[in-house]
Chain A
Amino acid sequence: GEDVEQSLFLSVREGDSSVINCTYTDSSSTYLYWYKQEPGAGLQLLTYIFSNMDMKQDQRLTVLLNKKDKHLSLRIADTQTGDSAIYFCAENLSGGYNKLIFGAGTRLAVHP
């Protein structure tokens, strides 16, 4: 069935790079997304990648997509304390229906 999996927790030192990983099941997904949720807040769209791309870079964010392995990653360069949040990976299901399937979220903790 439809499933998106993420590791639940990541701890990094300020200034280091963070890599958050995600695997998904629907090989026909057109778009894959990364959302950020800060404590007590809604979801903020961070970035997305179209399924025919391998990589997308946006300032400190780099998204890598391996379609063969159905693996998506988000790299945050020079991680700051303001990056502490829960990061959700989501896939858009095929079939022309805008249904997003979310992973459980990865809690990123940035420490000095």
Chain B
Amino acid sequence: SAVISQKPSRDICQRGTSLTIQCQVDSQVTMMFWYRQQPGQSLTLIATANQGSEATYESGFVIDKFPISRPNLTFSTLTVSNMSPEDSSIYLCSVALAGGITDTQYFGPGTRLTVL
């Protein structure tokens, strides 16, 4: 497995502002993912963070709202832009490990975001 950390662990933000969430892995990974978990809901994939190229977004998510960076094989950021209360969720990053069972994803602890 991998050790995955996220910063911040939680935040309370005002509407109209932006928040950047960081995800750090203790080993090099080929694939990193960002998920959203709305209150009481399951996880929904936002995008796949590709190293060296633009992220691949799922239907319903756009780069202007959720810009993603992936500068190297151990780090990624997700920005939630121009926030509204509907963006209040837990945001989780996950990684798929290379060389092992590559389909298996391991998750970070999540960032709990509240937008007022």
Contacts of B48 in A (CB 8 A): 98-99
Which of A43, A48, A105 has the most CB atoms of chain B within a 10 A radius of its CB? A43
Q: Is B109's CB under 8 angstroms from A98's CB?
A: no
Determine the main DSSP class of B at the interface with A: strand
| Binary per-residue interface labels of chain A (62-94) against chain B in the complex, 1 for a CB within 8 Å, 0 otherwise | 000000000000000000000000001000100
Q: How far is the CA of A94 from the CA of B109 in the complex (A)?
A: 27
Q: Is A98's CB under 8 angstroms from B33's CB?
A: yes
A/B pair count, beta carbons within 8 Å = 49
Q: Is B103's CB under 8 angstroms from A30's CB?
A: yes
| Binary per-residue interface labels of chain B (25-51) against chain A in the complex, 1 for a CB within 8 Å, 0 otherwise | 000000101000000011111001000
Least Cβ distance of A4 to chain B in Å? 8
Q: Is A45's CB under 8 angstroms from B42's CB?
A: no
Q: How far is the CA of A92 from the CA of B101 in the complex (A)?
A: 12
Q: Which of A40, A42, A105 contacts B92 (CB 8 A)?
A: A42
Contacts of B103 in A (CB 8 A): 30-31, 92, 98
Contacts of B14 in A (CB 8 A): none
Contact of B84 with A by CB under 8 A: no
Contact of B57 with A by CB under 8 A: no
Q: Which of A42, A88, A105 contacts B108 (CB 8 A)?
A: A42
Q: Is A98's CB under 8 angstroms from B92's CB?
A: no
Q: How far is the CA of A52 from the CA of B33 in the complex (A)?
A: 26
Determine the residue in chain B with the shortest Cβ distance to A43: B107
Contacts of A102 in B (CB 8 A): 42-44
